[in-house]
Structure 1
Amino acid sequence: MMCIHGGAGFGRTLAVNICLRGLEPHGDVRKIAFRARPTARAVRHGLFTALGLAGEPPRHPGEFDRLLKTALAERPSHLPGGQRPRTFLVDEAQWLNGEAFEYFRCLWDEPSAHLAIVFVGGEGCHTVLRREPMLSSRIFIRQHFTRLTPGEVLEAIPLFHPVWADADPGDIAFADQHAAHGDFRARAQLAAHTRPALARTGRSHVDRELLRWAFSRLA
């Protein structure tokens, strides 16, 4: 198990998705996200859906648990390289409470499950994990995402989107200082506004006049 946590818009989910595609292009990755504080019952139903299980979800918790553990033990063997661990990407994990985290721990502890779990969430995710010693001790890696530094912006942003690939480094820094502030999501919003503007104006690359217009379009 691992925990990826940090502020909103810092590129956590993007980075995890790209890394999983690179590490396990043919792997069995199941994504699940919660938008409110889920109970263990809600987690069971979320896993039922993520695993694509047929029929109606069991009503009794014990029966439901047996079904999930059986499904987790049945790893697909048709993938390249034979049987591989199943990976759960649990996004928006800051909504999980101690009960929900504990349920994931119980599944992970099941020897036949052969399960990897990646928790991705805001700062609250790591805070809750630290309050659960039995779970916290099983977290192999904790990675804290922060805003990009000015040097990281110049290194990473030209690779992030074609709009920035040919941009002048000074203009990339200008956009970061006045709008993005090391935030990946803000940079994506700028690209979404800038790309059609380039087409309308016939420009080959961004400049500060166009960037100032894009700044005005940000919420």
Structure 2
Amino acid sequence: MTANPPTPPTDTDTDQYVPLPDARIVATRALLTARENIRDTIAARAMTCIHGGAGVGKTLAVNACLRELEPDEDVRRITFRARPTARAVRHELHAALGLPGTPPRHPSEFDHLLKQALARHPRTLLVDEAQWLNGEAVEYFRFLHDERTTDFAIVFVGGEGCHTTLRKQPMLASRIFIWQHVTRLTPTEVKDVIPSYHPLWASADPDDIAYADRHATHGNFRAWARLTAHTLTALTHTGRTTVDCDTLRWAFSRLG
């Protein structure tokens, strides 16, 4: 596996939770692993599951890797916010695939339409927030993927409950090609990647970065994004140009 990351896009090209001008995607261990896993999953037209705690950068990493590995028109993204029925999955797929006309009323007709659409040319489905899937929805994805004529890969992405949710369905779990658990950044990773994440940290004292991680961010990328935004505000208010413990403590006070 190559350790060279893709050319890091700025924040405007990514899906970061907190909009940060000049923020960049950094080549964490999790991102490099995800790129290898997604590449192999796409090649096998298989299913993979990338899961972990809130704010560790799962969806951002997957989207960045898919943009590098697949043409955008071949990727379809679906996000669930509640436990969907098979009917809801059908309708989400109809919209995600951009199928014309009114969705069919009868399940068998709808299934035939989706199978035809997923057989026309290779695709990759990104199913985000997969911890919300119930058994019926999980089995429906398996039903479509098992169809001999369909030709698509699935990347399930979800929170800590995602692994348990998919494991509860043995028929699908046995077909998961790769499982990847994304964890928090280690202190060593923080020291290595945070200076590249945003210019604010490029000029910061490494001890101040370590101090921020110990007291506020704890290896969580979303927390780093929030801290970066508040620290930039602190510098603007005080007229200072570099990070120090005083500005960090002020930013900490906003993080609760």
* TM-score with structure 2 setting the length: 0.77
Partner of 1:102: 139
Question: Quick one: distance in 2 between partners of 1:68 and 1:42?
Answer: 13
| Shift, 1:68, TM fit | 0.9
Which moves more between the two structures, 126-135 or 86-95? 126-135
Question: What are the within-5 Å matches in structure 2 for residues 15-26 of structure 1?
Answer: 15-26=61-72
Moved more, 180-189 or 165-174: 165-174
- Does the residue aligned with 1:118 lie in a helix, a strand or coil? strand
**Identity of aligned pairs, percent?**
71
* Number of residue-to-residue matches in the alignment: 210
**1:59-138 → structure 2 map (5 Å cutoff):** 59-75=105-121, 85-138=122-175
* TM-score, with structure 1 as normaliser: 0.90
Of residues 29, 33, 40, the one that matches 2:75 is 29
Could you tell me how far 1:159 is from its partner in structure 2? 2.5
Unmatched 5+ residue regions in structure 2? Answer: 1-46
Distance 2:71 2:207 in 1: 36
Does 1:3 find its partner at 2:49?
A: yes
| 1:53 matched residue in structure 2 | 99
State the partner residue of 1:165.
Answer: 202
1:15 Cα deviation after fit:
1.1
CA drift at 1:32? 0.5
Moved more, 61-70 or 165-174: 165-174
Indicate the RMSD between aligned Cα atoms, in angstroms.
Answer: 1.5
The farther-off stretch of 129-138 and 91-100 is 129-138
Which whole-Å CA distance do the structure 2 matches of 1:216 and 1:34 have between them? 33
Deviation at 1:53, TM superposition (A): 1.4
Counterpart residue number, 1:148: 185
The answer (yes or no) to whether the contact 2:234–2:250 under 8 Å persists in 1 is: no
Structure 1 stretches of 5 or more lacking a match? 76-84
